[in-house]
Chains A and B, each alone.
Chain A
Amino acid sequence: MSNPPETQLCPSRRRWLAGALAAGALHGVARAQFRVEISGVGATQLPVGVTKFREEDRSGQSISGIVRADLERSGVFRIVDSNGDFDETSRPAYPEWRGRGADALVAGSAARLSDGRFDVRYKLWDVVRGNELSGGAVAVVSADLRLAAHRVSDAVYEKLTGDKGVFSTRIAYVTRVANRYTLRIADADGEGGQVALNSTQPIISPAWSPDGRALAYVSFESGKAVVWAQDVLTGERRAIANFRGSNSAPAWSPDGSTLAVTLSRDGISQVYLMDPKGGNLRRITQSSAIDTEPAFAPDGKTIYFVSDRGGSPQIYRVAAGGGNPERITFNGSYNISPAVSPDGRTIAYVNRNGGEFKVMTLDLAGGAVRTVSDTVEDESPSFAPNGKLIIYATRSQGRDVLMTTTLDGRIRAKLLTTGEDVREPIWGPFGR
């Protein structure tokens, strides 16, 4: 891991113009263009300039706009006045950029190649020290221009923070317009969505396989809840849990060899394990209460789930091989929808308090609980694969919307303000 930004880029000489420029009109324009609504202020945001990529207007994608929105949404960066006419081959006027309050600068180009592809190039400079930090080039077809932009964001993020970026990962979610339900797969910023499944009946609980090739989900197309698994690339799908009663809440084990599901086949909703094709069914919870929403810990050895065995829904954990469950949430009378962080140290979940449903995090070692949302109808939290962001569903201005938030709740961004109801987000793995 490289150094964190505070040591790599001198923090002492930052903000003298930050208030005048970074919070000004140009900043707002960049946001509006990409429909990313950011709320909150981070304590240690790194000011970065991202100039317009040369020839990006002719590519059909605002590559610099995508990069700016990515970096902002991460909560780690603040975009400064980024007007400037140059590319990755230029030599930036460091004093001018320092004057704008920037600590780092990104520039690049997207030239059309003779074969119709686009040559996306970028360079990253340390404005404070006045040197080049990294650069890269990739030739892509136009359909992959957004991906190329997200890869630039990932490279910048990793170079400046030492953590792997998640901007080129994918998310899945469900949109609803009247009685049309659509399972979509999109870039991590919610844009560029492609349809995986259309239905006139509800679709809930999508779950990525660890290799990112398949989605399991619950579809009501047959008149009841049935768990399906679908190959994302080919569209090939099969019902993998279709027992008497309801079949729901699919969750993949980290090695992809096992699925946990909730079945009511034995008279009440309980958690079972099965092979991804539906075989080798075994029940792992044994209660006379609701047991549901299984989620594997990243080591695959522990399963978190929700049970109302104590009189109200709370989060428990049990060994994946079975055993005595241990209750882990104690604050409040309604704690549901656990998601485990990639390092296994934190769970995100939804807590009801006085009629408000909020995404919370629980530090499993220390027991500290933190509220990370400022909305009151939150659902379905899911961690980014680098563990630095949580995506969740909520309601805003009468619509179902998706939000991302940093784990400290300081920087939140609303995705996809398209006017459709959007729900059931799940963040996909690294690699695509």
Chain B
Amino acid sequence: MTPFRTSLCAALVSAWLVGCGSSVKLDDAAPVVDAKANPAGSNAANANAGRGVNSGQSSVTTVDASKNDAMAGIGRVVYFDYDSYALKDEFRPLIESYARALSAAKTKKMVIEGHTDERGGREYNLALGQRRAEAVAKSLMLLGASDSQLEAVSFGKERPANDGHDEAAWAKNRRAELKDR
């Protein structure tokens, strides 16, 4: 599974949607919270685990407000190949989603943070991360976002997402993160 699909699935599960669809519409209706239905693996089920049906006055039902975020279910991270700042096709849906959201709400602003893996010099990695962030920003602008809505910055190799020292960790660290500001 690609990194994009992994994060997509994780986001979907947390939003209580069952399965891992290949496409996510921004206007999908959020599922209704229903403690009685208790879909397997849901937060509500876990919260009431072991209490049975007569859980009494102490029972608490967890509600996840993150599903109200229009961008929930859309990843916020774009991954890159080693030494590369080329955007991979698999992230095109993600970029398009954010570009639509930005062009629909011109007051919305985002910062794109570029990152690299740990190999190589700090300054060159800072520039490489910057290049990755700029690549995402340029694509967003080509798809309708405005220059004034975006700032591309870089942390180079200073803020790894994964502290490991192998290819699996490095692949998670070569990334650009899209953040609201």
Which A residues lie at the B interface, using CB under 8 A?
202, 204-205, 218, 220, 223-225, 244-246, 248-249, 262, 264, 267-269, 290, 292-293, 306, 313, 334, 336-337, 350, 352, 355, 357, 379-380, 423-424
Decide: A204 near B122, CB < 8 A? Known: A264-B134, A267-B134, A269-B130: yes
Interface 0/1 of B153-168, CB less than 8 Å to A: 1111011000000000
B124:A204 contact, CB within 8 angstroms: no
Q: How far is the CA of A46 from the CA of B151 in the complex (A)?
A: 58
Contacts of B123 in A (CB 8 A): 204-205, 248-249, 262, 292-293, 306, 336-337
B130:A293 contact, CB within 8 angstroms: no
Q: A352 is contacted by which of B120, B122, B128, B134 (Cβ under 8 Å)? A: B120
Decide: A380 near B120, CB < 8 A? Known: A246-B130, A269-B127, A290-B127: no
B121:A248 contact, CB within 8 angstroms: no
Decide: A204 near B126, CB < 8 A? Known: A224-B153, A336-B120: yes
Contacts of B122 in A (CB 8 A): 204-205, 379-380, 423-424
B172 within 8 A of partner (CB): no
B124:A248 contact, CB within 8 angstroms: no
Most central of B127, B152, B154, B159 by chain A CB within 10 Å: B127
Number of interface residues of B (CB under 8 A): 20
Q: A248 is contacted by which of B119, B120, B126, B151 (Cβ under 8 Å)? A: B126
Q: How far is the CA of A306 from the CA of B123 in the complex (A)?
A: 10
Contacts of A423 in B (CB 8 A): 122
Main secondary structure of the interface of B (DSSP, over half): mixed
Most central of B119, B126, B153, B154 by chain A CB within 10 Å: B126
Q: A245 is contacted by which of B120, B151, B159 (Cβ under 8 Å)? A: B151
B174 within 8 A of partner (CB): no
B126:A334 contact, CB within 8 angstroms: no
Contacts of B134 in A (CB 8 A): 264, 267-268
Contacts of B131 in A (CB 8 A): 268-269, 290
Q: How far is the CA of A424 from the CA of B157 in the complex (A)?
A: 13
Contacts of B121 in A (CB 8 A): 293, 336-337, 350, 357, 379-380
Q: B154 is contacted by which of A225, A244, A293, A352 (Cβ under 8 Å)? A: A225
Q: How far is the CA of A262 from the CA of B127 in the complex (A)?
A: 9
Contacts of A357 in B (CB 8 A): 119-121
A225:B120 contact, CB within 8 angstroms: no
Give min CB distance, A426 to chain B, whole Å.
12
A246:B124 contact, CB within 8 angstroms: no
Give min CB distance, B141 to chain A, whole Å.
11
Contacts of A225 in B (CB 8 A): 126, 153-156
B158:A220 contact, CB within 8 angstroms: yes
Give min CB distance, B168 to chain A, whole Å.
16
